Structure 1
Amino acid sequence: MEYKDRKAMPLFPISIVSELTELSARQIRYYEEKNLVAPLRSEGNRRLFSFYDVDRLIEIKRLIDEGVNLAGIKQVLKLRENQVQENEAKKQSEEESKHYKKDLTDKELHQLLRRELLESGYLNKPSINQGDLSRFYH
């Protein structure tokens, strides 16, 4: 099993997570039942939590301590996930645009345009006066 993000590796049993989050095992299982956290299961069907799961449980505990109910917690977590996804998509888009953004010289631009016109068959149409376009291509 290979993980690009080490924080996503399922490492911690429920006993350790309980100590880290100051939540009881029963509370953790309850939050799992309510789909607020989704630990992976080992071959022996033991729950294994990642760093992300621990962070999420700490956030749930903080929200509960502030008086937010489960429905509110689900909304807060959903909004945060959407923000993370939007930020990742934006970052990926910026990286792609950097990769493709290249200033073309006039010569490269003319070559590209000529190739596209030739491939489309536009230059071979009799209605096009070849002399009109010849000034662009020498």
Structure 2
Amino acid sequence: MSDQSRRKPSASERSRALYVISVAAELAGVHAQTLRIYERKGLVAPARTPGGSRRYSDRDIALLNRISELTSEGLNLAGVKRVLELEERVVALERELAETRSEAAALVAETRRQYRRDLVPVPRTDLVPRPGTGPAAST
């Protein structure tokens, strides 16, 4: 297997609309008419050629597979749409949380650096004289 075939496709490659409706339907394991219904219901939005033909991307195929999973679990199309919306929202919130955590960590690190700059070194003085030192030793 070559390095080219093992590498993960980039985001732009996954979103490139390559497949006509019949190929997309076959890849997703559904009928082409089902894809048209999904589009009418707002579940998938394939790209369009200048002539108006639908073109599906690898990302669309993955979405179609997810829709198939959800419908096989008993959800109707309205339920599938809601689940997909919620899954998308979860991804967005996880991304936002990761950014917030990163920003917070950077602020904590900067605050610690600031505290270190504000510390003033104090020469060490013994509170208790060591044996053989101090005023009593000189007499």
TM-score by length of 2: 0.65
Quote the sequence identity (%): 33
Distance in 2 (CA, whole Å) between partners of 1:8 and 1:109 is 51
Superposition deviation, residue 105 in structure 1? 4.2
Match for residue 24 of structure 1? 31
Are 2:116 and 1:104 equivalent residues in the alignment?
A: no
Q: Which residue of 1 aligns with 2:96?
A: 89
Match of 1:38 in 2: 45
Q: CA deviation at 1:11?
A: 2.3
The AA in structure 2 aligned to 1:86 is: L
Aligned residues: 107
CA RMSD of aligned residues (A): 2.2
Match of 1:121? none
Displacement, 1:99?
A: 4.5
Unaligned runs of 5+ in 2: 1-9, 120-139
Q: TM-score, normalised by structure 1?
A: 0.66
Name the larger-Rg structure.
Answer: 2
Per-residue CA deviations over 1:55-86 (Å, capped at 9, x if unaligned) read 11111112222221112111211111111111
Structure 1, unaligned stretches of length 5 or more? 111-138
> After the TM superposition, which segments of 4 or more aligned residues of structure 1 sit over 6 Å from their partners?
none
State the distance in 2 between where 1:25 and 1:109 align: 69
1:69-112 deviation per Cα after TM superposition (whole angstroms, max 9, x unaligned): 112111211111111111111122233344554332447459xx
Q: For the structure 1 residues 107 and 12, does the alpha-carbon distance in structure 2 shift closer, same or farther, using more than 3 Å as the test?
A: same
